Structure 1
Amino acid sequence: MIEARELCREFTLSRKIGRFRRERRVVTAVAGVSFDIAEGEAVGYVGPNGAGKSTTIKMITGILVPTSGRVLVSGLDPTRSRREVARRLGVVFGQRTQLWWDLPLVDSFELLRAIYRVDARSYARRLAECADLLDLGPFLDTPVRQLSLGQRMRGEITAALLHDPELLVLDEPTIGLDLESKERLREFLAELNAKRGTTLLLTTHDLDDIERLCHRLVVIDRGTVLADGPLKYLRHEVSPERVLVVELAAPADLAGLPGVASVSVEQGGLRQRLAFRRADTTAAALIAEVATRAEVHDLVVEEPEIGEVIRRLYARR
């Protein structure tokens, strides 16, 4: 669906020095980014502010022309085949809008239907589906300027999907939303990817979005790719240690179990945290060993949180 090869983008900045002179300098926003995204994938594209995420998105969507390198969407160059690419993708920018501010929401949809030349039957079916899943009915006739942020973002998602795109690009889609609105939006996007096979490319600082929606993570910093792979493998790479937390019926000594690096005791020995490395033992083997020493009421295997994984990737650079 997306093929990026050595993608670079530079900007020339100018500032005044002295009365009649200006100084120019070149800033590299994206420096040799390469990745592929297959049809039906859900990929998180993350990095700190200024890492080059939005610049990459703008090159993928044809808004910016790469300084060097190339990007293809469904085999098409976004800058040379803008209309064809536009029909194949939908874009949602959390801090931008494609809706008409003073018009009722449904009128914006009608205008977008005409722009994309969607036939009436397909439009009606698509709008009914989105209205049902995103609960748009109560405010379809409300002017966009009177909508809450959560309502407007549901409208933005619908607007991006009316022409049934193969690829949906989301740049901070849940920014500023309350918990209920975020959850509703995540459920809809997860279903869209799972049932319709729509490819998702998501950039966000809300790591819960990544955890919920994305099976793969591309981490970018200072315009280059730091890591690219399934989230579980990145966890293994940067944090080889896991923790087994056990709740016991009675205090017991769990020190010295094979493969355990350290043991911490809480609640007078009723809860114990056993740190172990994946290379030394498995969770299943460790649970079996614990069961031979004590009666277990409950247990859980803790994985490092996604925020910690990304932080360690940055630190490694």
Structure 2
Amino acid sequence: MSIAAITVRNLRKRYSYAKRGRGLAGAFSSKQVVIDAVDGVSFDIAPGERVAIIGPNGAGKSTTLKMLSGVLEPTAGEAQVLGLTPWRERKALSYRIGVVFGQRSQLWGELPARDSFELLRRIYDQDEAVFARRLGELGERFALRELMDQPVHRMSLGQRMRCEIAASLLHGPELLFLDEPTIGLDVTAKAAIRDFVREHARDHGLTVALTSHDTRDIELVCERVIVVNQGRIVVDQPTDQLRRRFLGRKVVTLQSSAPSLGLDLPGVVRRPSAQHTTVLEVDTAAIRIEQVIAAAFAQGGVEDVTIEDPPMEEVIHDIYANPDRR
């Protein structure tokens, strides 16, 4: 029986601050406000498993990853990451994990990517030959050759994120933490990152813990989903099971020359739409997407079609609206 890559037991993170009242009287009085960002979560992640931790803004996702990577110390509870306590053995752990926070950079903005990579090699005390091989593999897979001599601050967001993920893997970590790795990226850049993370993790036995608001990140990269809300776990299921239960709806947007399209189909509900735009919510358990699109094209005048997953906030709403399906 393999030892878990991550073990979490009753982990908590509480913040408190003084909130002052309004007006002159408020300047001399305040009350203590307490927020439980993470409120007693427990879970295990097996070696090589790819797990998404999802939920609405403020649910405690990023706070959980920061505690597991040693950036934050919890208020209470226990966690073991690769056999180490993150906030007590952060230096030892840093050699064995890779971390990418979508809003923070580990690269030096004024330096070419090549120089940032070389600095990271020295920080992690990596053998030159091993490092060169890894950089060659990552550069080939992530198309980094044309970026190597370009200052990071001149890169597009998609280019920078490719370099960030490569940088997080150059020291050969056993576990990768990704916090919103595709935020703000275009469709092509998102697809490249998803494909790379999934394939690299599969080929190298890498454990991945990922947070995201994008359901495609979850579906295409991860095998399991932990849903958190208000600091607590509300669902912990394999991705395919969650997809069947809570991601069975799609949002189809049709642009047309006609002011609107009339589609009366089972499992299809029309959402509020603007002129020449028809927005449909489709229950894929009742009807296939292809049937809906075929019916729309049969009316003529369709100029563009977009198919999206519902926003994560709606998925969370569905989970709470249907507690018997958890």
Which bin holds the TM-score, normalised by the shorter protein?
0.7 to 0.9
Is the aligned partner of 1:16 residue 2:20? yes
Give 1:180 deviation, angstroms. Answer: 1.2
C-alpha distance in structure 1 between counterparts of 2:244 and 2:161, whole Å: 35
C-alpha distance in structure 2 between counterparts of 1:110 and 1:142, whole Å: 14
What SS does structure 2 have at the residue aligned with 1:210?
helix
C-alpha distance in structure 2 between counterparts of 1:265 and 1:118, whole Å: 56
What SS does structure 2 have at the residue aligned with 1:158?
helix
| Structure 1 contact 211–306 (Cα < 8 Å) conserved | no
Q: Deviations over 1:107-158 (max 9, x none)?
A: 1111111111111111101111110000000010011111111110001001
Give 1:315 deviation, angstroms. Answer: 2.8
C-alpha distance in structure 2 between counterparts of 1:143 and 1:274, whole Å: 46
Is the aligned partner of 1:35 residue 2:43? yes
Is the aligned partner of 1:313 residue 2:287? no
Aligned counterpart, 1:139: 147
Residue 207 of structure 2 aligns to which amino acid in structure 1? T
C-alpha distance in structure 2 between counterparts of 1:216 and 1:225, whole Å: 13
Give 1:161 deviation, angstroms. Answer: 0.5
Q: Deviations over 1:7-55 (max 9, x none)?
A: 1000011222323333222111110101100000111110000000011
Residue 115 of structure 1 aligns to which amino acid in structure 2? I
C-alpha distance in structure 2 between counterparts of 1:166 and 1:95, whole Å: 23
C-alpha distance in structure 2 between counterparts of 1:72 and 1:224, whole Å: 19
Unmatched runs of 5 consecutive residues or more in structure 1: 243-262, 267-272, 277-303
CA RMSD of aligned residues (A): 2.4
C-alpha distance in structure 1 between counterparts of 2:284 and 2:177, whole Å: 41
Residue 3 of structure 1 aligns to which amino acid in structure 2? T
Give 1:190 deviation, angstroms. Answer: 1.1
What SS does structure 2 have at the residue aligned with 1:177?
coil
Q: Identity of counterpart residues, as a percentage?
A: 48
C-alpha distance in structure 2 between counterparts of 1:314 and 1:161, whole Å: 37
C-alpha distance in structure 1 between counterparts of 2:246 and 2:195, whole Å: 29
C-alpha distance in structure 1 between counterparts of 2:102 and 2:284, whole Å: 42
1:188 to 181, 186, 196: 196
Report the TM-score when normalising by structure 2: 0.75
| Structure 2 contact 38–64 (Cα < 8 Å) conserved | yes
C-alpha distance in structure 2 between counterparts of 1:45 and 1:265, whole Å: 29
C-alpha distance in structure 2 between counterparts of 1:163 and 1:221, whole Å: 34
What SS does structure 2 have at the residue aligned with 1:56?
helix
Matches within 5 A, 1:167-246: 167-235=175-243
Residue 74 of structure 2 aligns to which amino acid in structure 1? P
C-alpha distance in structure 1 between counterparts of 2:285 and 2:138, whole Å: 46
Q: Deviations over 1:182-214 (max 9, x none)?
A: 111111111111111111111000111111011
Cα distance, 1:231–1:305 mapped onto 2, change above 3 Å:
farther
Report the TM-score when normalising by structure 1: 0.77
Equivalenced residues, count? 263
| Structure 2 contact 113–150 (Cα < 8 Å) conserved | yes
C-alpha distance in structure 2 between counterparts of 1:274 and 1:225, whole Å: 27
| Structure 2 contact 56–316 (Cα < 8 Å) conserved | no
Is the aligned partner of 1:112 residue 2:116? no
Aligned counterpart, 2:9: 5
| Structure 1 contact 235–309 (Cα < 8 Å) conserved | no
Residue 104 of structure 1 aligns to which amino acid in structure 2? P
Q: Rg: which structure is higher?
A: 1
